[in-house]
Chain A
């Protein structure tokens, strides 16, 4: 009952925020999809953070640290380090060019930089293939979360779908960014309270001090590199994620949005602080949870690691449990609505707009949002195994976009007129990822190694080499032809 009340409070506050965000004025697709490039530093940072950090953190990473040890922190931390570098180095330049070219979707950006309309269409399809399973997985996660709390799987999926639709549809990016700020604050505040409760109440109740609990986990070898985290596995997890900031359109699009360079700098700074705090808190919760298992306060959940947080919550005061539960719902929804809006912008702009013109682009965008939410909801309700598993591979499927995007950002003059090379590189490497998923199954393909290197590293190397050779050959031919 308390959970339902807190969820209702969350829903009402979020919907009111979304409704009032309409005051920012939506005149066209430029306002609807990228907020007219008018976001403050705080809003930009919160929407970047809430979009990036999904329910994986509080459910997946807590369980991952619990089951596999501190290597999981290393993996998440490397993502954060790399994202700080990529944003610091590229974002100011991309932000500046976006103002000159008025980009709305990242597919449009690549098409523009490579001088190829077909590239932007193909990139849109790649986004759709890679991100729909990832989006579905968010709703499936919500369903499982509700089911675990005794509220029913279908209710979780439908609750998520209704919120995502409302908060996306009402004012596009404005309703998403403002509700993301609300949800991001909820996520970080509840994580801090949850951690304090674990350290100050739960651990002492087992008759040991927090430092003794950490010592206990260390004695079992979990604060070192465990057998799970062999170097190839560490590479398999980190390689796709360290390029997340350049390959995932929902975060690339957020680079365009800050209203001035000061706001962009604030976005990067506040996001880094948010990410660091959130990662550390979630890691420490996972370590303490494992100590509680060693002390007999929690059952052994190493084979059911996604149950660590729900089991911990069953030991918490019901109000705190409801607040943390809602923060996980918020994390899933803030990721999902951003993905839906980004895919919608790609379809309405890079497909419909390029073929039929930009007159009815916003109207097409509304219909696309409805269709995408419906498709994701139906898929989540039916849970087709392959689609849900494919979400694991989404970052690998998007990986060929890393060298393609980085080249276009760092040397736009070199990328110009190289659209065919980029298309070939993208098609070959995305096909390899999908083929591996079909043959091996997505989960196995993710950690499969060839000559001790994971598939993701091979895809990254091959796409980089293909791009480099393609550009070299084309330039040679152009020089010969004078």
Chain B
């Protein structure tokens, strides 16, 4: 559970932070691909987490 929550928070913070810092000068498909990759990652770790039975999400 802790891994899932922490990873999710990090991914969401990254979705806010990098476009306004490191990627602020990007002008090609980078931002689109960046946000898309974060969502795919979120989806994959969520799928793994969802497979755990209720009450055993430790």
Q: What is A's interface to B at a CB cutoff of 8 Å?
A: 70-71, 73-74, 77-78, 80-82, 84-85, 88-89, 92-93, 96, 214, 218-219, 221, 223-225, 231, 234-235, 238, 242, 261, 265, 268-269, 272, 276, 280, 283
Q: How far is the CA of A166 from the CA of B8 in the complex (A)?
A: 41
Q: How far is the CA of A187 from the CA of B5 in the complex (A)?
A: 32
Task: Say how far B29's CB is from chain A's closest CB, in angstroms.
Answer: 6
Question: Could you say which of B4, B28, B42, B43 contacts A218, with CB atoms under 8 Å apart?
Answer: B28
> Once the chains bind, are B46 and A283 in contact (CB under 8 Å)?
no
> Once the chains bind, are A74 and B35 in contact (CB under 8 Å)?
yes
Q: How far is the CA of A224 from the CA of B47 in the complex (A)?
A: 30
Given A78-B16, A223-B29, answer yes or no on A85-B8 (Cβ-Cβ < 8 Å).
yes
Looking at chain A's contact residues, is the secondary structure mostly helix, strand, loop, or mixed? helix
**Nearest opposing residue in chain B for A78, CB measure:** B15
Q: Mark B17-41, 1 if CB is under 8 A from A, else 0.
A: 0011001111111111001101110
8 A-B pairs with the lowest CB-CB distances in the bound complex, closest first: A88-B46, A224-B27, A85-B8, A77-B35, A92-B54, A265-B50, A81-B42, A218-B28
**Chain A residues near B36 (CB-CB < 8 A):** 77, 280
> Once the chains bind, are B43 and A276 in contact (CB under 8 Å)?
yes
Tally of contact residues, B, Cβ under 8 A:
34
Instruction: Kindly count the residue-residue contacts between A and B in the assembled complex, taking CB atoms under 8 Å apart.
Output: 92
Q: How far is the CA of A351 from the CA of B32 in the complex (A)?
A: 46
> Once the chains bind, are B12 and A81 in contact (CB under 8 Å)?
yes
**Nearest opposing residue in chain B for A235, CB measure:** B16
CB<8 Å pairs between A and B, sample of 5: A70-B32, A82-B12, A84-B39, A88-B50, A242-B12
> Once the chains bind, are B11 and A74 in contact (CB under 8 Å)?
no
Q: What is B's interface to A at a CB cutoff of 8 Å?
A: 4-5, 8, 11-12, 15-16, 19-20, 23-32, 35-36, 38-40, 42-43, 46-47, 49-51, 53-54, 57
**Nearest opposing residue in chain B for A273, CB measure:** B43
**Nearest opposing residue in chain B for A276, CB measure:** B39
**Nearest opposing residue in chain B for A80, CB measure:** B39
> Once the chains bind, are A81 and B50 in contact (CB under 8 Å)?
no
**Nearest opposing residue in chain A for B11, CB measure:** A81
> Once the chains bind, are A223 and B26 in contact (CB under 8 Å)?
yes
> Once the chains bind, are B31 and A225 in contact (CB under 8 Å)?
yes
**Chain A residues near B49 (CB-CB < 8 A):** 88-89
> Once the chains bind, are B12 and A268 in contact (CB under 8 Å)?
no
Given A74-B15, A265-B50, answer yes or no on A84-B26 (Cβ-Cβ < 8 Å).
no
Beyond the given pairs A70-B31, A74-B35, A218-B29, 4 more chain A to chain B contacts, judged by CB atoms under 8 angstroms and listed by A's residue number, are: A71-B19, A77-B36, A88-B46, A265-B50
Task: Say how far A86's CB is from chain B's closest CB, in angstroms.
Answer: 9
**Nearest opposing residue in chain A for B30, CB measure:** A223
> Once the chains bind, are A74 and B28 in contact (CB under 8 Å)?
no
**Chain A residues near B38 (CB-CB < 8 A):** 77, 81
> Once the chains bind, are A268 and B46 in contact (CB under 8 Å)?
yes
Task: Say how far B32's CB is from chain A's closest CB, in angstroms.
Answer: 6
Q: How far is the CA of A88 from the CA of B1 in the complex (A)?
A: 11
**Nearest opposing residue in chain A for B31, CB measure:** A70
Looking at chain B's contact residues, is the secondary structure mostly helix, strand, loop, or mixed? helix
> Once the chains bind, are B46 and A272 in contact (CB under 8 Å)?
yes
> Once the chains bind, are A96 and B54 in contact (CB under 8 Å)?
yes
**Nearest opposing residue in chain A for B7, CB measure:** A85
Most chain B CB neighbours (cut-off 10 Å) among A71, A88, A221: A88
Given A81-B38, A223-B26, A225-B31, answer yes or no on A74-B19 (Cβ-Cβ < 8 Å).
yes
**Nearest opposing residue in chain A for B5, CB measure:** A89
> Once the chains bind, are A81 and B32 in contact (CB under 8 Å)?
no
Given A81-B12, A88-B46, A276-B39, answer yes or no on A225-B24 (Cβ-Cβ < 8 Å).
yes
Q: How far is the CA of A252 from the CA of B14 in the complex (A)?
A: 27
> Once the chains bind, are A218 and B19 in contact (CB under 8 Å)?
no
Question: Could you say which of B23, B27, B43 contacts A84, with CB atoms under 8 Å apart?
Answer: B43
**Nearest opposing residue in chain A for B51, CB measure:** A265
Question: Could you say which of A85, A225, A269 contacts B12, with CB atoms under 8 Å apart?
Answer: A85
Question: Could you say which of B26, B42, B51 contacts A224, with CB atoms under 8 Å apart?
Answer: B26
> Once the chains bind, are A269 and B19 in contact (CB under 8 Å)?
no
> Once the chains bind, are A223 and B31 in contact (CB under 8 Å)?
yes
> Once the chains bind, are B46 and A84 in contact (CB under 8 Å)?
yes
Q: How far is the CA of A242 from the CA of B11 in the complex (A)?
A: 13
**Chain B residues near A96 (CB-CB < 8 A):** 54
Q: How far is the CA of A235 from the CA of B12 in the complex (A)?
A: 12
> Once the chains bind, are A85 and B46 in contact (CB under 8 Å)?
yes
Given A218-B29, A223-B31, answer yes or no on A269-B50 (Cβ-Cβ < 8 Å).
yes
Q: How far is the CA of A195 from the CA of B18 in the complex (A)?
A: 29
**Chain A residues near B54 (CB-CB < 8 A):** 92-93, 96, 261
> Once the chains bind, are B39 and A77 in contact (CB under 8 Å)?
yes
**Chain A residues near B5 (CB-CB < 8 A):** 89
> Once the chains bind, are A283 and B16 in contact (CB under 8 Å)?
no
**Chain A residues near B29 (CB-CB < 8 A):** 214, 218, 223
Q: How far is the CA of A292 from the CA of B43 in the complex (A)?
A: 33
